[in-house]
Amino acid sequence: MKFSLKDKNALITGAGSGIGQATALSFAEAGAHVWIIDLNEAGAKQTEQQIIEKGGKATVLLVNVTDQQAVKAAYAKPASIDILVNSAGVSHIGKLDSTPESDFDRIYQVNVKGVYNSMQAAITRMEAAKKGVILNLASIASSVGIPDRFAYSMSKGAVLAMTLSVAKDYVKAGIRCNCISPARVHTPFVDGFLAKNYPGHEQEMFEKLSATQPIGRMAAPAEIADLILYLCSDEAGFITGCDYPIDGGFIRINN
């Protein structure tokens, strides 16, 4: 079977919802033992239950990715770390002058330090095994200017840069590191954002946001997960140090 992850241990941060959850389900279907890394116990348990009901293997690790010691302790539990997917992240809306220091620090802690903590905890084990795959979630915001996304863009630019650095430093150790850059994806975050900021006009605003992408719609989380599955599979064994836009044409057609 192509894109098989049979007998591989895959750690996925943010696997309790959205892209992370879709990736966890996809990886389990491909045969991986999925380690669900999340702070949201209810969401993590839901992901685990869905995987187990379909005959897959999953283990929940409730971890705050901003806590380096907690990440290291959790990542010592699997027998191996064959794949690491850094999907955990938070968003922020605001320009430079409307971004308080507290919000800037919050975005940095999760989106930048969280990825750093996760990769650092995994890399020594991968290096010892002389193999491993890391896939980070960047964003179109790391490549083009997005209005009112100052802190978020900063964090995703850092994710892209860290990806390229790790790919170069560990290629001789048999470790591949790539990232993907989604545009808008229809996740629970989008629904929550619309309900909070546009009560009574959710559908209208959803359609407006969808129309900003040339393809005319948002991505489904499962579509993003399919690209992640490919990049983490042995079939992508010749790919490292790359960023893959998955954006409905946003970068190349809009810009």
Helix (H, G, I), strand (E, B), or coil: what is residue 10? strand
Give the C-alpha separation, 116 to 68, whole Å: 9
* Contacts (Cβ under 8 Å, ≥6 apart) of 112: 155, 158, 159, 162
| Annotated active-site residue in 152, 170, 198, 244 | 152
Is 244 in the active site? no
CA distances from 221 to 20, 104, 117, 151 (A): 8, 26, 25, 23
Give the closest residue to 177 by CA, choosing from 244, 88, 110: 244
Active-site annotation, residues: 152
